[in-house]
Structure 1
Amino acid sequence: MARFVIEGEWSGYRSSQSRIVHREVITEKRAERVKNLSAIVYTDGTCLYVSVRKAEPRERIQEIHGYSSLIRQAEATGKDYVTVAELNPARAA
């Protein structure tokens, strides 16, 4: 049974602020659903870049559950590029 890792990297306002803010171990089935998702764009112009990779054998993965619900909402759209306004239309108004 293969393990996969979703990583979310926040772009920051400058390149020096870029950092990993989400890391989660997932199943192969979920990896297939989320592999096309590449970015979630915020209203302030920053992005959460999402990537999926196969975990190495015996790799220890320190999970960071910072954006689990946001990534699940974006995954449900089936798009590769999503804005936060699309995910939460009530908050955008």
Structure 2
Amino acid sequence: MFAMAGIQPRVTHELQQIISILEFVALGHGVTIVASLALPDQHEGVVYRRITPRFSRRVGLACLNERRLSPGAAALWAQARST
């Protein structure tokens, strides 16, 4: 997304947990780009904005051995393969 726009972000911190990211932003220590499905409806001290134009991405799914999947994982795998 950044490369397509000719922008190079200046990354100063890398956080993994969504709540840690939101707290970091709420404290005014930075901004972030997060998939909307990963966000709670609201978080005190954080303002959500949509990126325009919209940007989509592809997500891959892999497994080492289909025969060793749990029933839930096997159902997800079957559903993913059928679409």
The TM-score normalised by the length of structure 1 is 0.18
The structure with the largest alpha-carbon Rg is 2
Indicate the structure whose relative CO is greater, using CA pairs within 8 Å and at least 6 residues apart.
1
The TM-score normalised by the length of structure 2 is 0.19
More strand by share: 1
